[in-house]
Amino acid sequence: MQLALARKLEHFTRLSADDKAELGRLAGDRVRRVAAREDVIMEGDQPRFINLILEGWACRYKHLEDGRRQIISFFVPGDLCDLNVFILKQMDHSIGTITDVRLAEISRNSFEDAMLRFPRVMQALWWDSLVGAAIQREWTVGLGQRDASERIAHLICELFIRMRSVGLTDGPRCLLPLTQSELADATGLSHVHVNRTLKDLRAEGLIELERRTLTIPDLKALMQRALFNPNYLHLGREGRHLDANAG
């Protein structure tokens, strides 16, 4: 099975066999397993590694003093948490798992080393981090402007497309291992309202969702419902001028 990260990066530019081997090396560096609903790193800790999700789902989140919690982003396989983190002395948010997770801890040294030797990979990783920033912006837009059903539909579109971009969908189906409370924390809604909203979307025939499996019968329709425009994911091989001629 191919590395999810490599697969994702090829939406930006074609990688050579060497490039992929290097990614494999980074990903094998130091593998860690974390059980579901545990913290990978907490607010206040000093970041020591770039975390690369190999398997499972995780999220960034933040608590307000009074306990309210916002999930700030989701991580699916192939996602990297903050290329540059070691510049900061303190995490300003936490990263926690949703499911059981297998992740690679990439040290500063091996990262900087790879950076020098594999410029194309580097470019691709920067692209990925820019896409991450774009996703964060899109969440800002959604929380500010979209109503409940649009927000949830939008999030589902995004996650489905991101899963598809790393080869983890099966036709119109993919895993969606989030509880309704987690969806609520991500969309800024109450879990009760998330429940009702999912019911509506199901009733409209836009999604099916049972036992952690999501089915989207008509992605276009769902995208329309969500006012979803995929441009922010920059999946159009925007770095094709850097392509390796490898196959």
Partner DNA sequence: CGTCCCCTTGAATGAAGTCAATACGCGTGG
Partner DNA sequence: CCACGCGTATTGACTTCATTCAAGGGGACG
Question: Segment contacting DNA (CB under 7 A): 55-63, 116-124, 130-138, 173-181?
Answer: 173-181
Q: Which of 101, 237, 220, 204 is nearest to 160 (CA)?
A: 220
Among 21, 35, 42, 88, binds a second copy (CB under 8 A): 88
Neighbour count for residue 232 (Cβ, 10 Å)? 16
Interaction mask 140-159, a second copy, x per CB under 8 A: xx-xxxx-------------
Q: Does 193 bind DNA (CB under 7 A)?
A: yes
213 binds a second copy (CB under 8 A): no
CA atoms within 13 A on the CB side of 140: 7
Say if residues 19 and 39 touch (Cβ distance below 8 Å).
Answer: no
Tell me the residue type at 176. Answer: L
* Closer residue to a second copy, CB minimum distance, 7 or 154: 154
* Nearer Cβ to DNA (13/180): 180
d(CA 23, CA 3): 8
90 in contact with a second copy (CB under 8 A): yes
Q: Cα(14)–Cα(45) distance, rounded to whole angstroms? A: 36
- The span from the CA of 51 to the CA of 195, in Å, is 32
Query: Quick one: 63 or 199, whose CB is closer to DNA?
Result: 199
φ/ψ of residue 12, rounded to 5: -100, -55
Q: Which of 198, 214, 216, 223 binds DNA (CB under 7 A)?
A: 198
Q: Which of 58, 52, 63, 8 is nearest to 30 (CA)?
A: 52
Rounded to the nearest angstrom, the gap between the alpha carbon of residue 214 and the centroid of all alpha carbons in its chain is 16
Q: Does 42 bind a second copy (CB under 8 A)?
A: no
Binding residues vs DNA (CB under 7 A): 147-149, 179-181, 188-193, 195-196, 198-199, 211
Binding residues vs a second copy (CB under 8 A): 43, 60, 62, 64-66, 68-70, 72-73, 82, 84-85, 87-90, 92-93, 123, 126-127, 129-130, 133-134, 136-141, 143-146, 185-188, 227, 229, 231-232, 234, 236, 238-239
